[in-house]
Amino acid sequence: MSFLAPLVLTLALAPTTATGPATLAPGARDSLVHAWAASRTGEQEALRSDPASYLAAVQRVDFGELRRLVIGRAADCEVRVDDPGMPAHALAVSVAGDSFHVAALDSASFRWQHLEYREATTGPAGIEFGRWSLRLSHQHFPAIIVFDPRSPRFALAHGREYFPVNLAYRFVLPLTPNPRPDTVVILSTRGNERRALRVGWFDFRAGGRPCRLEAHRLLEPGVDEHSVSVFFRDATTGRETYPVGRYVDPEPAGDGRWILDFNGAYNPACAFSPYYNCPMPSKANVLPVALRAGEKDSHYAH
- pLDDT tens-digit profile of 106-142? 888 999 999 999 999 999 999 999 999 999 999 999 9
Other CB atoms closer than 10 Å to residue 138's CB: what's the count? 20
Q: Is the pLDDT of residue 15 over 60?
A: no
Q: Is the pLDDT of residue 218 over 60?
A: yes
Per residue in 234-250, pLDDT (tens digit) is 999 999 999 999 999 99
Contacts (Cβ under 8 Å, ≥6 apart) of 167: 21, 22, 24, 29, 32, 33, 263
- CATH number, domain 54-148: 2.60.200.20
CA angle (167 as vertex; 255, 210 as ends), nearest 5: 75
The pLDDT, as a whole number, for residue 186 is 96
Helices H / strands E in the chain, number of each: 1, 19
The pLDDT, as a whole number, for residue 133 is 97
The pLDDT, as a whole number, for residue 256 is 87
Q: How confident is the model at residue 17 (pLDDT cuts 50, 70, 90)?
A: confident
Other CB atoms closer than 10 Å to residue 157's CB: what's the count? 17
CA distances from 108 to 15, 69, 148 (A): 59, 18, 19
Q: How confident is the model at residue 18 (pLDDT cuts 50, 70, 90)?
A: confident
Residues of the chain with CATH 2.60.200.20: 54-148
Q: Is the dihedral of CA 278, 1, 32, 49 positive or negative?
A: negative
**For residues 218-247, average pLDDT:** 96
